[in-house]
Structure 1
């Protein structure tokens, strides 16, 4: 089973504030798991978000 991270840990891992992460959740910009009232993230979800938002440079 994958480890589940609460919002405060995921925010630290992404180097953002908790309020920014809650805004992304509300805007559905990032995947999450909801168990009861808890919002949780897996490593895979956080890595997918990073991959989707990675900007690459052009190689000439």
Structure 2
């Protein structure tokens, strides 16, 4: 579910960026959301490799 939220946020920021390409805050937020999604995908991959166990404490 968290992945879906990051993906939806990224889509929203991409639309906003098309509408306001000069908006630095939107650019920054898009990059941050993309980084968080990549981080989450990495965690999910690590959990899958470890059979569901992970060394991360936070969701």
Using the size of structure 2 for normalisation, the TM-score is 0.32
Structure having the higher helix fraction is 2
Structure having the higher strand fraction is 1
Using the size of structure 1 for normalisation, the TM-score is 0.31
Q: Name which one, 1 or 2, has greater alpha-carbon Rg.
A: 2
Q: Which has the higher contact order (CA 8 A, sep 6+)?
A: 1
